[in-house]
Amino acid sequence: MSHYFSEKPNARREQKKHEVALRGRSLTFVTDAAVFSKSGVDYGTKVLLDSFAFPATDGDILDVGCGWGPIGVTLASEDQNRMVWMVDVNERAVQLAQGNAEKNNLQNVKVLKSDLFQSLKGQTFAAILTNPPIRAGKDTIHTLFEQAYDYLVPGGELWIVIQKKQGAPSAKKKLQERFKEVETVRKDKGYYIFRAEKY
Ligand SMILES: C[S@@+](CC[C@H](N)C(=O)[O-])C[C@H]1O[C@@H](n2cnc3c(N)ncnc32)[C@H](O)[C@@H]1O
């Protein structure tokens, strides 16, 4: 069986085009088999996008585990003066996110294959967003939180969506060990949005 987070999915191709409205913008995306939420925008991703506010701090934005790119493409389209980075360990996701940035005529996007932050050494970000790879396990999620802290500028913000049943309360505790302030921005149908600010 091919999981959505395999590095080199070998599932058959099943490309589909979607016209979607996100944060009031009409965007075009292509999805494919073996990439997370291939049939359209995940509900948690939509709640995260609807909740997000760009930080006051200047600087780049990062979408970790970008999948086919709904988070990064939407934010790059909204603020074309910021560079938006998208990374995923799944090569098919990286190709789709790159193609989706191009389909929406975006110049301010960088898409890289990366295991968490590995391909991002030396970069810093004003905001990091993630609909995290829960299926990769708790260790990966905790590493993601810890490394996100290191890659944020002072005052930078990590935004995450996580379902209550997937361990939202323990994720919040973990974030509070490291970040100055952890705010529950929204709770919607069991999806929690957390905003964690770096000291
Ligand atoms: C829940 S999905 C979210 C996808 C997309 N951001 C969205 O909102 O539809 C999590 C993503 O994390 C990716 N992923 C899993 N392990 C990863 C890792 N170690 N480094 C980077 N990305 C990873 C998966 O391939 C998947 O695309």
| Residue nearest (by alpha carbon) to ligand 1 atom 13 | 65
Using the structure block, give the residue that is written with the tokens 């490394």.
147
- Give residue 10's pLDDT band: very low, low, confident or very high (50, 70, 90): confident
Distance 119 CA to ligand 1 centre (A): 15
| Residue nearest (by alpha carbon) to ligand 1 atom 25 | 5
**Whether residue 32 has its Cβ less than 6 Å from ligand 1:** no
Q: What's residue 2's pLDDT?
A: 44
Q: What's residue 199's pLDDT?
A: 84
Averaged pLDDT for residues 160-185 = 96
How many C-beta neighbours within 10 Å does residue 20 have?
Answer: 14
Note the pLDDT tens digit of each residue in 85-119. Answer: 999 999 999 999 999 999 999 999 999 999 999 99
d(C-alpha 199, C-alpha 186), whole Å: 22
Q: In order of start, what are the domains of the chain with their CATH numbers?
A: 16-197 (3.40.50.150)
**Whether residue 93 has its Cβ less than 6 Å from ligand 1:** yes
- Give residue 11's pLDDT band: very low, low, confident or very high (50, 70, 90): confident
Q: What's residue 5's pLDDT?
A: 60
Give the chain as a 3 state SS string: CCCCCCCCCCCCCCCEEEEEEECCEEEEEEECCCCCCCCCCCHHHHHHHHHCCCCCCCCCEEEECCCCCHHHHHHHHHCCCCCEEEEECCHHHHHHHHHHHHHCCCCCEEEEECCCCHHHCCCCEEEEEECCCHHHCHHHHHHHHHHHHHHEEEEEEEEEEEEHHHCHHHHHHHHHHHCCEEEEEEEECCEEEEEEECC
Q: Which residues pair with 197 in a beta bridge?
A: 157, 181
Question: Which of 6, 36, 75, 91 to probe ligand 1 with, by most ligand atoms within 8 A of CB?
Answer: 36
The pTM score is: 0.95
Distance 5 CA to ligand 1 centre (A): 7
**Whether residue 29 has its Cβ less than 6 Å from ligand 1:** no
d(C-alpha 185, C-alpha 93), whole Å: 28
